[in-house]
Structures are given as structure tokens and as C-alpha cells.
Amino acid sequence: MVMQQKTLLGAVNLGITQSGLEDKEIYLSLGIDAGHFSNIRKGVGHFPINKLNELCDLCGNEAPLIWWANSRGKGLVLLVTEAERRAAAAESRAREAEDKLRFLTQIMQGKVTA
């Protein structure tokens, strides 16, 4: 469906439609004026490119990114899977918790003064 879009705007609109979100949920979350967002959807206004990542995250799809890469004769490769990203975040939280526990243990044993 993404490749059938003729323009980046078509891909943006497809991504929004596929998200199942109401326009209001999107423009409020992105901090875009309601009238401007309406104009964007109609093709009269321009989508703020610096909000494209936020849009993809909010809509839960990469339609604009896929379209843009394809229009440039490129493909996309996932560098880190969601599972790998979550595992790294969990490891980081575990290290922080271990450091805090070690510090508190040392305080309780009188080895460190707070």
C-alpha cells in the first residue's frame, strides 16, 4: 500500500489512516495547529519534517519513511530489533539497580557516609 502512494503526503496520510487514531489525537500530540493539520491532510499545507519521527512513533508505522526511502531507490534495514532494544534497556536498569543496592549496602555497613 505504501508503494502505491504517489507522494510523501500520500504516505503520511496512509500512515495516519492506518493508525486508527483521530486527527485530533495526532495534531494535539504533535503540537500542530488544528487548521494547519487540516491543510496538511488536504495537501495545502506542509507537514513539519522535524515531526516525522514523532508521527511514525505515534501512528505505530513507518509508512512515510518506507515511501521516502523507496522514492530514492533505497531500502530499509532494521539496525536493532525491538527485542534487542528492550533487552538493552532492561540491562541498563538492572545495572543501575545493582549500583544503588551496592551503595546502600555499603552505607548500612558503615563503609560509606551519605
How does pLDDT run across 10-35, given as a tens digit for each residue? 999 999 999 999 999 999 999 999 99
pLDDT digits (tens, 9 = 90+) for 55-73: 999 999 999 999 999 999 9
Helix residue ranges, H only, 1-114: 8-19, 23-30, 34-42, 52-59, 63-71, 82-108
Q: Is the pLDDT of residue 1 over 80?
A: yes
pLDDT digits (tens, 9 = 90+) for 69-94: 999 999 988 777 888 888 989 999 99
Instruction: List the CATH number of the domain containing 16.
Output: 1.10.260
Q: What is the residue range of 91's domain?
A: 78-114
Distance of CA 52 to the CA centre of its chain: 9
Residues 63 and 47 in one domain: yes
Would you say 91 and 39 are in contact if contact means Cβ atoms under 8 Å apart? no
> In this structure, what C-alpha cell is assigned to residue 32?
500542530
pTM, entire model: 0.65
Taking each helix axis from N to C end, the angle separating 52-59 and 23-30, rounded to the nearest 10 degrees, works out to 140
Residues 44 and 64 in one domain: yes
Residues 56 and 31 in one domain: yes
Residues 66 and 83 in one domain: no
Specify the DSSP class assigned to residue 79. S
Per the structure, the count of domains in the chain is 2
The whole-number pLDDT of residue 2 equals 85
**φ and ψ at 13, to 5 degrees?**
-65, -40
